């Protein structure tokens, strides 16, 4: 379970990370903070590109950073935007890959939580590694 102290730490991490969002095209800065089962926090920001489809979302940056360092179990991810916007479908799918119980916390730019639910509620009937077995 995610305690209040850790929830606050994740939100603060996402607020700080969001400063580094590279989003000259959309101007929609996103900060993410991912808590691993081992207790580490990985942050991420959206990184856009002049060739638009080459950009990537903040959630996937955080997850790919973590996975590239050997982490595969995730407790929670905070996604922090101007308006508490919802994760895109591709990010929902990538979170689902590592567990549909991962808690997804959406927060606005001031760190106010606007929605909080396990990934399975954001992506019902997800196609996961189990679907291939
Ligand atoms: N974005 C994210 O970083 N995460 C999401 O889940 C939704 C969208 C980014 C992608 C792009 O840089 C900007 O927000 C506008 O779509």
Express each pLDDT in 37-87 by its tens digit.
999 999 999 999 999 999 999 999 999 999 999 999 999 999 999 999 999
Question: What average pLDDT score do residues 20-48 get?
Answer: 98
Taking the domains of the chain in order of start, what are their residue ranges? 4-113
Mutate to test the pocket of ligand 1, among 45, 46, 65, 87 (most ligand atoms within 8 A of CB): 46
Q: Which percentage of the chain shows pLDDT scores above 90?
A: 99
Q: Kindly state if the Cβ of 58 falls inside 6 Å of ligand 1.
A: yes
* Long-range Cβ contacts of 63-70 (<8 Å, 24+ apart): 63/34, 63/94, 63/95, 63/98, 66/34, 66/36, 66/40, 66/42, 67/98, 69/42
Q: Which of 5, 12, 48, 59 is catalytic?
A: 59
* Cβ-Cβ contacts under 8 Å for 100 (sequence gap 6 or more): 118, 119, 120, 123, 126, 128
pLDDT attached to residue 110: 97
Residue 79 CA, chain-centre distance (Å), reads 5
SS3 65: helix
What per-residue confidence (pLDDT) applies to 1?
Answer: 79
Q: State how far the Cα of 110 lies from the Cα of 2, in Å rounded to an integer.
A: 20
pLDDT at 49: 98
**Integer Cα distance of 47 and 61 in angstroms:** 8
Closest CA to 55 of 30, 82, 37, 80: 30
Using CA atoms, how far apart are residues 67 and 81, in angstroms rounded to an integer? 23
CA of 45 to the centre of ligand 1 (A): 9
In CATH terms, 4-113 corresponds, of 3.90.1150.10, 3.30.70.100, 1.10.287.10, 3.40.140.10, to 3.40.140.10
d(C-alpha 55, C-alpha 89), whole Å: 15
């Amino acid at each position: 379970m995610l305690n209040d102290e850790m929830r606050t730490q994740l939100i603060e991490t996402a607020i700080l990370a969001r400063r580094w969002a590279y989003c000259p095209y959309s101007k929609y800065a996103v900060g993410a903070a991912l808590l691993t089962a081992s207790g580490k926090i990985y942050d991420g920001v959206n990184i856009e590109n002049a060739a638009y489809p080459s950009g990537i979302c903040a959630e996937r940056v955080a997850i790919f950073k973590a996975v590239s360092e050997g982490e595969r179990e995730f407790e929670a991810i905070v996604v922090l935007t101007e308006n508490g916007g919802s994760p895109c479908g591709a990010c929902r799918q990538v979170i689902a890959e590592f567990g549909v119980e991962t808690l997804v916390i959406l927060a606005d730019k001031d760190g106010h939580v606007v929605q909080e639910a396990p990934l399975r509620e954001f992506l019902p009937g997800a196609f996961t590694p189990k679907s291939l077995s």
